[in-house]
Amino acid sequence: MERLQKVIAHAGIASRRKAEDLILQGKVKVNGVVVRELGTKVDSTDEVEVDNVLIESEKKVYHLLYKPRSVISAVSDDRGRKTVVDLFPEVEERIFPVGRLDYETSGVLLLTNDGDFANKLTHPRYNIDKTYVAKIKGVLQREEIRALEKGVKLEDGMTAPAKVNVISADAKLDKSIVAITIHEGRNRQVRRMFEAVGHPVSKLKRENFAFLTTLGLNAGESRQLTTHEVKQLRVLSETGKIGN
């Protein structure tokens, strides 16, 4: 017996958190009866429907995308903008992005139909490092770097400590290139962190997600993760260390 939201996530419909929302909204049926209890357990003989569509187990797939700018990190968009899922026309599984990069941010983005996998990689308690390279206005001062490294106060609370490395700085052109590593994933977090210390971001790319990079890919291109990479990510999310 497994919890209903876990079964939905494993079927690739949505992450477990989103599956819980679907249950609470009355969009899930078990054996023809609407179920709203999050603790409900089902087994392989039960028929589970989401939005009146019977779910079936899908083979788990894992993709790494070099997300280009001006693309939405979502499955669909009510404004008709291109989404990251649109970049996978040949993929039959119902994949969704692991976390998100904002509309004008490029770089490493994972997509999968494995809800448990996605949840472990996005929850801040699992401490998965993400490194971004930002082009910012101005030159960071020592105290501003310390503030970013210690954590800055945003409207949704203090950020966790970050690692900051100034790659280049040009006082005459009033701009800098800075690498910053965080393990949280709040909405537009890196942009808001730099804004909080007075240095708006004009360009942003996620260079690393854990040990993964966009090496060998152009913007808009993707590849499947290897079985070993998936295993390493699972071990990293559970232990904080990369497996062999």
> Which token pair is 168?
């280049």
- Cβ atoms of residues 235 and 242 within 8 Å: yes
Catalytic option among 77, 102, 116, 129: 102
Q: Which residues contact 8 (CB under 8 A, 6 or more apart)?
A: 14, 16, 19, 22, 23, 28, 48, 50, 55, 115
| Nearest-angstrom CA–CA distance, 69 and 101 | 9
> Which token pair is 195?
């804004």
Query: Among residues 201, 225, 240, which one has the least CA distance to residue 64?
Result: 225
170 is catalytic: no
- Cβ atoms of residues 194 and 134 within 8 Å: yes
Active-site residues, by number, are 102
